[in-house]
Structure 1
Amino acid sequence: MSECVIAGRVDGLLSLDAANVLWAGSTAGSAVPTAAAVFTSSPADVQAGYVLLSRRVVAMVQAGGGAWGVSEIEVRRAAAEMRTVEMDRQDLVRIGPFGGAPKPEQGKGTLLRWRERLARELQEAGGPGRAARDNSGRPSHLAGIDWRRILVERSRGRTARSWWLPRAVVRLLDAAEHAETQWLQATRPRRANMPVTQPPERSGQPRATDRRQATSPDGPTAPPRPYNGELQSQLYSVLSRKPGISRKVAGWACAVCRTVPAAVLDHCHEHGYVRAPVCHSCNTQERPDHLYSNDIRVAGHYTRLFDTHVVDWLRHWHRCPGCRARTTLPLAHLAAWTAYVACRSQRPTHRDARGSRGRKPCGALRVSWTGDHHAPQSCVFTVVVDFCPSGEHRVLAQVPYREAAEQFRTWLAATAPAVAAAAGPDRIDDLPTQPRPVIPDTSGEGLALF
């Protein structure tokens, strides 16, 4: 993960209005839409003493005459970071609602728990088009991002709805939240002794006698440490009840992407074992696009799961002793693999509508299964293509679970030899003879089994 809390450079101060102009101009070409007036609208507040932009904490400094300003070089660096973010608007992560009322605001001028802040604004305003505004009428922002322009709201029926953001933005906001948390922890002793009319001063920041120069030192931050299997073979039902486990999880980097702090414990719902601490983005990405209790759509993010980053994900799934011993995947993941990989050659194609000579897969893949997910070996996978011009709901294949599992083992040995070499029943001594019941997942609708 790139550095979160960056030391400032003495490069002159900009007024807040001038900084707004610089930010808007410097991020005009970024893939992620940015907000205007980031230094003069919520959550910016001189009482807080800083503004969060991209992954950076940009300090507000009081110059001569009492006017507030920010370091020009810090604004430029934050804008440069924002321009490097690549965003796929189709690769979405669900961010809510997940039930329960939003928690109360933790403190004016902070971006802590951006999901709760966003959910509060949406629920209070009644929708993304009427989200909350500050006292000046400007809409609030998240780390300088105009999230309203990329928020997707999906409805099911008259009342059910869900909110989604692009995965790249979710990862950026998670990194921003971590940067802010580290900055607040580093400056808490000084902030506690400051009068409320003053922004917090940090070591290296100019004192009242010389406020023409602005700095923003790192402070004693603690970057998340790599995960090295410390929770291996532990049961989620036991570990999740231990006091302080959430704080411990947040101390690790995500075990999959290894770029942002972990936020949740990913676990195998079929066998009940903890896999590893992961970030919200990776935890959502590994879940199939769930339609019904036994029916999933094989969405575009499977390119990452079973193609571009396949070894990382296979290693992660096999952190579960049950899956590793049986050299397979949980039922829903094996179903998705069967549709995406084993049945790839059977999927119909058509000419690319953009005029090129190539062909592209047609329709949308979907896989369902019959049988009891408590006894997956009794299941049969049915792979179909929806919305295909040559015949909607065209059935590609029906594959028994045992056959799919055998095909997966062969493919695993060729694709990830190191992962395959560590798998098998002779590698596990303490595995229960019977799979554990599926653990219900309460973090979202229709997301059990994963």
Structure 2
Amino acid sequence: MVRLRQHGHFVLGDIAVRCYEYRSKRTYDERDIRRAAQVFADFRLDPGDVIEVQVPPYRERDDQDPEERGRADWRERVASWMYWHARDKHQLERPHEERDDNWQRIGVGGMPGELTWEEFIAASSGSRRSIGNTRPLELVTRSDSGPFLPRAYADLLDRWEQVTEEIVAKARICSRCRAQGPRWGAWRTPSPLGYITLCPPCSGATFQRYTGHLRGVLYESARTRSTRADGYLCPMCAETRAPVWDHCYDRGYVRGPLCGSCNTCEGKSPAHYFLRDKEGSALHLLECCGCLERRTLPARYHAALARMHLEATERHLIRSRRCRREPRVENIELDHGAYRFELSCWWHDARWPKTVTVVEAAMLVREFVDQAFADAQSNAVVPAPRAASDNPSPGWPRETP
């Protein structure tokens, strides 16, 4: 699904098969499937004609150019699998004070750190690691110098890189103004015929702005069912179409239209992530008139705010001094009127429990809502009832072939 949003294709080897959508169902042209199948049926490998696979040097994600991050590169992908297992082995076999960056260096046999090829294959067994929907690890052979792949297969993966980059480049272009967008499909928005690319200004000009005309209306009401959401711009990201109505599960009131990404983030991502990292999350939750009147949030956000409070304030002691690092919080349980957390510090191998009562969590929620309410008042965006709007949904732009 991530790749379909990014470029709208299923890449099989070096063949890009386009995905189509009709009546909310995704499908492929059978002629494209048969063409891809024929290419694989005719594909031949010479086991004796191989090339050495040089493992690229390790690079921190933050050191990479954002434009290069995520680029189709089969060598980088295979290397990332190796570095992942090399790091795990390094950390499992050493106490914290003896850990270093040796796992990032290429060692004996072309493998990073002290990882051996046999350990790498054993750790990778059962995984569905693929490139271009093919399994490279099943074709790798070994020598003392490093891993080898059949030349024909390596050439296939090189063509996979080229084909993938071509369809990504095409999918980044706004179908209206022809501006180039981000690599990972942030400008891609669903339409009745599949994903199209629209930059934020063009999306704002294409879709209506939601003005709160369903505020206070129950999600299960006939009025909600008769009002389409897909003509509105998502009010949270303000970048793409909002195909669904989001609502408060605790009180049943409509909160507004959301795009698929923002709706999934609110409903399925960890609650603390939505509150902390999603801009406008508090105001969106307060679009529920029940939560707004009570100055509270749905129940699942109470534990999240307690967790965020502990991350910001709780620290363990090291020789009578507070550790400066933020603890990791896990194992949240609600038991006898209290949220029970387990906190840990990876750097000092410390673990300790902490309890936040339901009453204390409710107070944290009230403080959070009051602050969000004050910020909304200062910015003149306090939720307020609006008159119903009968503006027709705008027409869909067509994606340029």
Shorter chain as denominator, the TM-score bin is 0.3 to 0.5
* Structure showing the higher helix proportion among its residues: 2
Higher-Rg structure is 2
Q: TM-score, normalised by structure 1?
A: 0.40
